[in-house]
């Protein structure tokens, strides 16, 4: 399985998480070989946190896990697409359904297009940004 993947120089590949029912793109994260192998074995999304430099099991703090229904590899072998069921309805650390909640308007300004489902401080504790 791993032989078909073109990991970057850091040993990572971008992974797009898409809602299995609606097709909405929820988030983009990174995987290394270990994260992908665990994801395949457990059917639960596991990523590699570049900021923490460690394996990140989606939902390990928030409870908002992603059950993986399907994994696809693009034609160049350098991007993964995960079809997931987002448990709890929140994929973003900001407490929103997805990470793509800002839209560029005609004036070149970013507009917020979706509201917070749950305050991140209630999910992760005080001090979370």
Does any domain span residue 33? yes
Q: Which helix (H) or strand (E) segment is 124 a member of? A: helix 120-124
Output the pLDDT for position 124: 82
Output the pLDDT for position 127: 57
Question: What are the tens digits of pLDDT across the range 42-73?
Answer: 999 999 999 999 999 999 989 999 999 999 99
> CATH number for the domain including 62?
3.10.20.810
Q: What range defines the domain where residue 33 resides?
A: 2-93
Q: How many domains does the chain have?
A: 1
Does any domain span residue 105? no
Does any domain span residue 104? no
Does any domain span residue 28? yes
Does any domain span residue 34? yes
Does any domain span residue 110? no
Predicted model pTM = 0.91
pLDDT > 80? residue 98 = yes
**CA-angle at 3, arms to 38 and 19, nearest 5°:** 50
Does any domain span residue 15? yes
Does any domain span residue 46? yes
């Amino acid at each position: 399985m791993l032989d078909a993947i073109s990991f970057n120089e850091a040993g990572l590949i971008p992974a797009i998480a898409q809602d299995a029912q609606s097709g909405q793109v929820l988030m983009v994260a990174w995987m290394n070989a270990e994260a992908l192998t665990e994801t395949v074995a457990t059917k639960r999304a596991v990523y590699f946190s570049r900021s923490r430099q460690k394996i990140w099991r989606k939902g390990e703090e928030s409870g908002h896990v992603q059950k993986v229904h399907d994994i696809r590899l693009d034609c160049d072998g350098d991007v993964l697409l995960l079809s997931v069921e987002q448990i709890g309805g929140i994929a973003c650390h900001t407490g929103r359904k997805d990470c793509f909640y800002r839209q560029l308007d005609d004036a070149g300004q970013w507009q917020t297009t979706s509201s917070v489902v749950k305050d991140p401080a209630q999910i992760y504790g005080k001090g979370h940004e």
